[in-house]
């Protein structure tokens, strides 16, 4: 049997080292993919928890629900207190929608899940009150979201079955 030289041992060590590096890179890649998937899933869950919580808070308060229905139909008819309630409610909605919008654009919210946000937003912005609210308050949101709402959502025809809160037809 031939005795290995120091050069031979060095070359074998280099090969073993190269294989170990490749194996560790594959492992790190798998871990990154797994963590990215978990983060995206968590982001989507958070976005939909916000959506559900917003709906639940509205339906849990009959006065707020009545104010929001009135404001969506005729924003100018709201008293000062009602307008403050309406603004607070829909600032929360628009903030949550903006968050969902950015998560959708970055790919952490699936397009199918974004669609529900988009349709509810279209229902809101298609009303007289939603458009008046956005005209007064839209400047408070990020430029890309402002453009999306103003140049895209508000120009679309609402879905034929759209009824904000299920309560009234959208008039165009």
Is 99 inside a domain boundary?
A: yes
In a domain, 146, yes or no: yes
Span 20-39, mean pLDDT?
A: 66
- Given a cut of 80, is residue 101 above it in pLDDT? yes
10 in a structural domain:
no
Helix axes 62-73, 6-59, angle to 10 degrees: 90
- Sorting pLDDT into bands at 50, 70 and 90, what band is 39? low
Decide if 107 is inside a domain: yes
Give CA–CA dist 7/103, Å, rounded. Answer: 55
**Which range, of 33-37, 97-101, 153-157, averages the lowest pLDDT?**
33-37
If you average pLDDT over residues 153-159, what whole number do you get? Answer: 90
Kindly tell me if the per-residue pLDDT of 96 is higher than 80: yes
pLDDT band at 42 (very low <50, low <70, confident <90, very high): low
Domain assignment of residue 158, yes or no: yes
Does 25 reside within a domain?
Answer: no
At 36 the pLDDT is 53
Distance CA 158, CA 172 (A): 9
Number of domains in the chain: 1
Percentage, residues of the chain above pLDDT 90: 45
Does any domain span residue 55? Answer: yes
Query: What average pLDDT does the segment 110-115 reach?
Result: 88
Evaluate whether residue 145 is within a structural domain.
yes
The range of the structural domain enclosing residue 61 comes to 44-166
């Amino acid at each position: 049997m031939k005795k290995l030289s120091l050069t031979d041992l060095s070359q074998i060590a280099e090969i073993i080292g190269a294989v170990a590096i490749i194996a560790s890179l594959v492992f790190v890649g798998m871990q990154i993919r797994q963590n990215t998937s978990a983060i995206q899933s968590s982001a989507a869950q958070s976005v939909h928890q916000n959506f559900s919580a917003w709906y639940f808070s509205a339906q849990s308060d009959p006065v707020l629900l009545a104010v929001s229905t009135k404001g969506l139909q005729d924003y100018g008819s709201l008293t000062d207190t009602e307008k403050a309630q309406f603004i607070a409610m829909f600032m929360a909605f628009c903030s949550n929608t903006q968050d969902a919008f950015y998560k959708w654009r970055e790919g952490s919210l699936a397009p199918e899940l974004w669609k529900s946000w988009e349709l509810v937003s279209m229902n809101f912005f298609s009303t007289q009150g939603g458009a008046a609210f956005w005209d007064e308050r839209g400047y408070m949101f990020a430029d890309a979201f402002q453009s999306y709402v103003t140049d895209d959502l508000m120009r679309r025809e609402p879905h034929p079955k759209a009824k904000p809160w299920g309560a009234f037809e959208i008039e165009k």
